[in-house]
Structure 1
Amino acid sequence: MQAPQGADVLSLVETSLDDDKAILPVTLDLRGKTTIADFMVIATGTSQRHISSMADKLVTRLKAEEIGNVTLEGGDDADWVLIDAGDVIVHLFRDEARGFYNLEKLWGDAELERAPIAANA
Structure 2
Amino acid sequence: MKAEDTVEIDLLGKTSLADAMIITSGRSQRHVGSIADKVIQEFKGRGFGNPRVEGMPACDWVLIDAGDILIHIFRPEVRHFYNLEKIWGADRPADRSADRLAG
SS at match of 1:42: strand
Aligned to 1:117: none
Higher RCO structure, 1 or 2 (CA under 8 Å, sep 6+): 1
Identity %, equivalent residues = 53
Aligned to 2:53: 72
Contact residue 23 and residue 43 of structure 1 kept, 8 A: yes
What count of residue pairs does the alignment treat as equivalent?
Answer: 91
Contact residue 49 and residue 76 of structure 1 kept, 8 A: no
Q: Work out the CA distance in 2 between the residues paired with 1:54 and 1:36.
A: 23
Contact residue 45 and residue 93 of structure 1 kept, 8 A: yes
Query: Where do 5+ consecutive residues of structure 1 fail to align?
Result: 1-19, 111-121
Aligned to 1:107: 88
TM-score by length of 2: 0.83
User: Could you say what the CA RMSD is over the residues aligned between the two structures, in angstroms?
Assistant: 1.3
User: Deviation of residue 68 (structure 1)?
Assistant: 3.3
Q: Residue 28 in 1 paired to residue 9 in 2?
A: yes
Select which of 68, 83, 86 maps to 2:67: 86
Report 1:41-80 matches (<5 A).
Answer: 41-80=22-61
* Structure exhibiting the larger radius of gyration computed from Cα positions: 2
Contact residue 31 and residue 39 of structure 1 kept, 8 A: yes
Query: Where do 5+ consecutive residues of structure 2 fail to align?
Result: 94-103
Return structure 1 stretches of 4+ with deviation > 2 angstroms.
Answer: none
Q: Work out the CA distance in 2 between the residues paired with 1:93 and 1:31.
A: 23
Q: Residue 40 in 1 paired to residue 21 in 2?
A: yes
Q: Work out the CA distance in 2 between the residues paired with 1:61 and 1:106.
A: 28
Contact residue 22 and residue 70 of structure 2 kept, 8 A: yes
TM-score by length of 1: 0.71
Q: Work out the CA distance in 1 between the residues paired with 2:79 and 2:73.
A: 8
